[in-house]
Structures are given as structure tokens and as C-alpha cells.
A and B are shown apart, each in its own frame.
Chain A
Amino acid sequence: MRLTDKHIDFIERSLTLYGVEDKALREDLVDHICTYIENEETSDFNTLYQKALRKFGGYESFQNLQLETNHQKFAKQIITINRLKFSMGFVVILLLVMSLVFQMMHWPYANAWLLAAIALSVLVILPIHLYFKYKLAIHKFS
């Protein structure tokens, strides 16, 4: 069957409605469904489209595909977040050690280093950690 631009628009809109939000994934799926329909001899678009959807495993499978894609995207973020947490943690330790040494030596700014360490922990590390937990929760698979 030969597909028109209207058919392609319809497939793309349907996939968006089924929860395929990611553009790259949608492009893949639209082309897959279109190629499948084009390789069929009959010219009843609706029947062929329904058949293609069944081959994918129904509407739910599109949402699962989107979830899987989100999860993979998040996997890259996990590495970045962990690196950031490690770097910030290292800076906090450094500031605490500096604060301790400055206290012992009775040098000025000892409290400033301590405050900076606390501020970094509360304002940077804690929000990053909470954001990480939140993202993990929404991408968790059942």
C-alpha cells in the first residue's frame, strides 16, 4: 500500500497520543509502521494500521517503549550525577579539613570554611541527592 502524507501525520499523532513523547523514538516507530504497511498488498489503511499496532503488542507497549527510553536516557544522567556528587563531596571534605586546621592554628576564617562546607552540603549535595531519588522513582519499572 502506498502511504500519503496524511497517513504519516495520522500515525505520528496517534503515537504521540499513545505516550511516545520522545522525538527520536517516534521517528523510529513511524518509519517502522509505515514500512510495514507499505510492504502489505492490501490497501485498507485502518486494518493495516491496527494490524501493525497489534504486532507491536498494543497501545501499552508504546508507553513501555517510552519508559524504557527514558530509563536509558536517565542511565547517562546517573553517571553525571554521581560524578557531581563525588566532586562536591570531595570539596566539602577539603573545606572541613581546612576549617579544622585553621581552628587548631587559630588562623582567621576557620568558621568561614566550616560554613562553606555546610552550605555546600545543604544547598548543593542534598538537592542533587533528592533530585536523583525523584528521577529514580519516576523511572522505576514495575
Chain B
Amino acid sequence: MYSKELTKGTLQPIILKLISSRDKMYGYEITQEVKKITSGKIDISEGALYPILHKLEAQGVLVTEKIYVGKRVRKYYSVTKDGKQKVIEATKEINDFIITLQTIFNAKPTIS
């Protein structure tokens, strides 16, 4: 599993991308899905997930839908119309970041 320090900055784009790829998702489902997709290499802690979800909701990127599961409420998060643009931008930025990292960590040795 990757360290928290390494994944910290990428959690928001990961969560955004995942929710945008589905119709709607709830908190627990997001953590399990990320774990499943990454074969357990990225484990989003609950303490990190909900502040991000609430922040994105406050920004109008995500919208919630409440559904009663027995006595308790389940909040499904989905990306708003405006939020879709944010997902595109976040994906572009992350891809650019990956390329930049590759230039540093996979740099070919040069003759000086």
C-alpha cells in the first residue's frame, strides 16, 4: 500500500474521477471501489474521504441524493453538470503530473 504522504494530493482527483465514471456512489462504496481497482495499493481513509466529499459538495462539484436504508440515511454523491468540467480539468492535470514524474524518475541517462 502506498503511503498517505504519497497519495494525499491525489485523493480528490481519484474520488472525482471514480464518481464521474458511475451514476452515483456512496461513501463506503467509494473506499471499497478504490481499494478493489488498485488491488489494495490505495486505501482511502474515512477521515480523509468525507471532508473531500463535503468540500466538493460545498463547491457545487458534487450533489447528494438521500435514500433511506431501513432507519438510516444513505447519501449518494454524483457529479453535477458544472462538476464535469472540473473532472476533465483534474484528469488532465493528473495525467500531466504523471508525465512530469516519469521525466524525473524514468529519465534516461545522458552522456555529459
Contacts and interface: CB of A to CB of B under 8 A. Distances in A.
B28 A24 contact: no
B27 interface: yes
Contacts of B53: 28
A28 B58 contact: no
Interface in A6-50: 8-9, 12, 24-25, 27-32, 34-36
A12 B72 CA distance: 9
Contacts of A73: 58
Tell me if A's interface is mostly helix, strand, loop or mixed: helix
Interface residues of A, number: 28
B45 interface: yes
A34 B28 CA distance: 10
Contact of A65 (B28, B50, B58, B73): B50
Counting chain B CB atoms within 10 Å of each CB, the highest count among A12, A27, A57, A61 belongs to: A27
B28 A72 contact: no
A95 B83 CA distance: 42
A55 to B, nearest CB: 7
Interface of A: 3, 5, 8-9, 12, 24-25, 27-32, 34-36, 55-57, 61, 64-65, 68-69, 72-73, 75-76
Given A72-B54, A72-B55, 12 more contacts: A8-B70, A24-B54, A24-B75, A28-B53, A31-B72, A32-B28, A35-B28, A36-B28, A55-B46, A56-B47, A57-B46, A64-B47
